[in-house]
Amino acid sequence: MSLRKWKKIQLLDLADKLDLYVAQSSTKAKIADAIDAHLKELDQPLDLAEYPELATYYQESAANSDDEVGSDPSEDADGLKDRLKTKVQDAAEAVAEVVSNAVTTITTPTETKSEDTEDEDQDDLVLPHGTPLQNWFSQLDFQRITPSQGSFAFKFNEFMHDVQNKTMEANGSVQDVLSTIPAVDALFFAVEAYVYVVRNHLELTADKPFVTVTSTWQEIAALTSFWSVWSLILPAFISYYINFIRYDLPDVLLDPMVFHVAKALLALLLTQWQPSFADEATYAVKDVAGSVSMLEVTAHWFRFALTEWKLQLGLLPFILAFAGSALCLYVL
């Protein structure tokens, strides 16, 4: 069984037993590669009585080494190519020798005549100095200049190779960043913040300052505070104290599974919580009379944010929290 097929929690536990440091935020593939490289550097295999989980790993390694020792098709292919190349060269040299002898035999009697004729033709074709044809004629020999010798040689193949390598490195970096639970949670938070706060209360423009606030600052502050408490602070508080992986992964302060479950339950609670319109009417009367208290002001903005949550988000936070829980089950 390949190490890449193990769960991430199993790989981290094995790395801890091997006293091999790996970052908790590393992907499962990087952790598996680090453990595999560490095992291959050892002088002898580990004791299976102490590491029984590595039995399948050593069996696969032994089988792969037997296959490599059994046959080496690359060496046979190289030998066959060398023999074929030698035969082709011998045949080409023989044909070239026969053709050369035949041409020499045919052209020998008329060699003197042809030389005289060529000299006469050259005398007839000599143009006076300074004619346009002489000025157009170039005596440069470009056959002796190769692209690698030129000072302005453009190595297109190396350029394309560099572009390919840099593209692959960039894709790998993006995959490493996005293949973590915190990165996915950040995307979920961005979606919620846009739907709840940005979409109906902020307007993006092409002119400076590029953002126009279409609501009052009290409304923006109430929405931001309400979303931060119910979607981030409360789930983080619960997952910090109810942490089932604090012994297996001591560096992880928040249990990601508990975080998403708590967020889903809080989202369901908010969808069932109905604001009191009677209290809102009482607040309006007191606000006009100027006798409203700080507690009543806070309750007013709470009811406003709750109403906006139900109208704008609905079940979206619950759906995203459920997706995060499924992701935790898949990764951990």
Q: Which residue from 293, 296, 259, 266 is spatially nearest to 280, judged by alpha carbons? A: 296
Nearest-angstrom CA–CA distance, 133 and 135: 5
φ, ψ (nearest 5 deg) of residue 213? -85, 120
Nearest-angstrom CA–CA distance, 211 and 214: 10
Residue, of 188 and 104, whose pLDDT is higher: 188
Q: What is the pLDDT of residues 251-287, one digit of tens each?
A: 889 999 999 999 999 999 999 988 888 888 888 888 8
Q: Which residue from 192, 180, 195, 200 is spatially nearest to 267, judged by alpha carbons? A: 192
Q: Which two tokens stand for residue 297?
A: 């002001």
Distances (CA, A) of 184 to 111, 189, 194, 324: 85, 9, 16, 8
Q: Which residue from 178, 145, 198, 206 is spatially nearest to 308, judged by alpha carbons? A: 198
pLDDT reported for residue 43: 80
Rank 70-74, 119-123, 303-307 by mean pLDDT and report only the highest.
303-307
Q: Which residue from 203, 212, 201 is spatially nearest to 308, judged by alpha carbons? A: 201
Q: What amino acid occupies position 8? A: K
Q: Which residue from 275, 269, 263, 268 is spatially nearest to 301, judged by alpha carbons? A: 275
φ, ψ (nearest 5 deg) of residue 279? -65, -35
Q: What amino acid occupies position 264? A: A
Q: Which two tokens stand for residue 180?
A: 């973590």
**pTM listed for this prediction:** 0.52
By CB neighbour count within 10 A (0-12 exposed, 13-18 middle, 19+ buried), where does 290 fall? exposed
pLDDT reported for residue 270: 93
Residue, of 185 and 114, whose pLDDT is higher: 185
Look at residue 137 and tell me whether its pLDDT is greater than 70: no
Q: Which residue from 237, 232, 108, 107 is spatially nearest to 182, judged by alpha carbons? A: 232
Rank 5-9, 148-152, 191-195, 208-212 by mean pLDDT and report only the highest.
191-195
φ, ψ (nearest 5 deg) of residue 16? -70, -40
SS3 251: coil
Contacts of 331 (CB under 8 A, 6+ apart): 8, 28, 181
Nearest-angstrom CA–CA distance, 186 and 192: 10
